[in-house]
Structure 1
Amino acid sequence: MVVESGPVPVEFVPAGRVVGEPVTKVGGQPVWLESAQWPLSKDSGEPMEFIGQFELPGDRLAYVFMTENAPGTFVPDGGENAVIVQPGGRVPAFVAGVRDLTSGPSLGDDHLAVPGKLDEDGESWQFLGGPGVEPLWLQGEETPGEEEGKPWDLLVQLDATAMPVYVNFGDAGIGYAFLAPDGGEGRFLWQCT
């Protein structure tokens, strides 16, 4: 499910199988397009937990990771979360390192993306983004690059209360993944109520 423009409400449903295709999903294991680049926690040095992978234009994927139960996972460049882009992406400088792992910690079983529903106000708190799509912030603007006048594109907004598996984004939190203007790397952060 690739988004060309406008937010696309999404929900994740059990795949009922191991997903080995390069599609948008949460849980399971990453489907690496190049050599595996599993990011490591700055705090512990252990592999971060795989949240999901998201399709990008040009047959690319963005992989989102976050350290389970570590302080500072809400900080976009604190070393406890990462967005890895393949092919041709770069590992963000704040990531403590990567390992060539094909499997590691994950949210659980594979869940595939399907079109989601809008609420009674015609909104959805969980959606795939794209160029020009604005996040729905819980605590205030935190778009990477905004302060330099080069805002990054929202890749996905994940609502912890709508996820099919447990993810710790605080109290009723929202996770936000972004891509740099050149598409070579990403940032992830979360806010809660």
Structure 2
Amino acid sequence: MIAISEFVKSKIHYIIGAVILFALAFRQYYKTSKGRLVVDAVMLKLPVFGILLRKVAVAKFTRTMGTMLGSGVAILDALDIVAKTSGNKVVENAIYSVRTGIAEGRTMADPLQASGVFPAMVCQMIAVGESTGALDAMLEKIADFYDEEVDQAVENLTAMIEPMMIVFLGVVIGGLIVAMYLPIFKMAGAVGG
């Protein structure tokens, strides 16, 4: 513990500088088109948060798309607007591929399925909505379902964080206690022996 403390005290300027440089470099990389695509793809693949981000993206896409189609906006214009407001480059590219597919005369569900970003259930429900002519109503139903899924996922995540924090704090405090008292016990053993 003393060695760690001495190291941090002597190298704090370098540590702070390295953190600042890393943050600036990451920010510059994220501003590039390729960097944003890579970071957003990684974000969607994270174990817990990736699933949550994917559900948020699906809810946002279906809610906005359903509202715009219900208001009479042309489907290509609606897809263009939804893509720009997606907030994730991977989702944006998937929506643009849907837009391109529709411009070529294909259905909306096929490019969504091919993108791999949207769950199969969503693609099937959109296909049903397209075939029945009630795409806006189907998109609203999907959005309602995924809004509930997001709320449930956030609840589960907050419920999971609490025990993890308790375990983390227990390990840190236990480590500090062991690091502080172990030398005292060793000295007492050496003196007594």
Give me the TM-score of the superposition, normalised by structure 1. Answer: 0.21
Higher strand share: 1
- Larger relative CO (CA 8 A, sep 6+): 1 or 2? 1
More helix by share: 2
